[in-house]
A = this chain, B = another copy of it.
Amino acid sequence: MLALTKKTGYALVAMSHLSRLDRGSLASAREIADLFDVPTSLLMNVLKQLASVGYVESVRGARGGYRMAVDPENVSLADLVGVLEGPVRLAECVTEVAGDDTECTCQVMANCPVADPLHRAQRKLKDFLASVTLGEIVKPAPAPTENKG
């Protein structure tokens, strides 16, 4: 439906919270879940996934928890989506091979008249997602200049 999944949403919330902690401070999954009223078990899964790719660092045991392992400025929406939802695919036939290149896998529509344009649109969408960094998300608001909504 062209929407981020809840997992990605939860990841954004959790990581933005972690980003705001003092350097080295920990927050447990339960703590974050309580704070934002999200299902604890699910948030645990998300944090585990984020830890497995190195975006956050985990400390086990009592008084353990999670902390940021990377600079929020270096994590984009595209990165998170890639980890939690799989590669961005504007259309089914557009598969991203590297981080930048796309490959056409139109098996059904041999004469597909929109393949090339979709690839271009896909690139633009990817660029857009890559331009939104967690750093921006963490900050309250960039500039009231163009604030319309």
Contact = CB atoms under 8 A, between A and B. Distances in A.
Task: Report, as a range, how many residues of chain A touch the other chain.
Answer: 35 or more
A77 interface: yes
Contacts of A91: 3-4, 9
Q: Can you tell how many copies of this chain the complex includes?
A: 2
A128 to B, nearest CB: 5
Contacts of A90: 3-4
Nearest to A82: B2
Contact of A128 (B35, B128, B142): B128
A110 B16 contact: no
Contacts of A124: 128, 132
A13 B114 contact: yes
Contact of A17 (B89, B113, B119): B113
A21 to B, nearest CB: 12
A62 interface: no
Contacts of A117: 136-137, 139, 141
A140 interface: yes
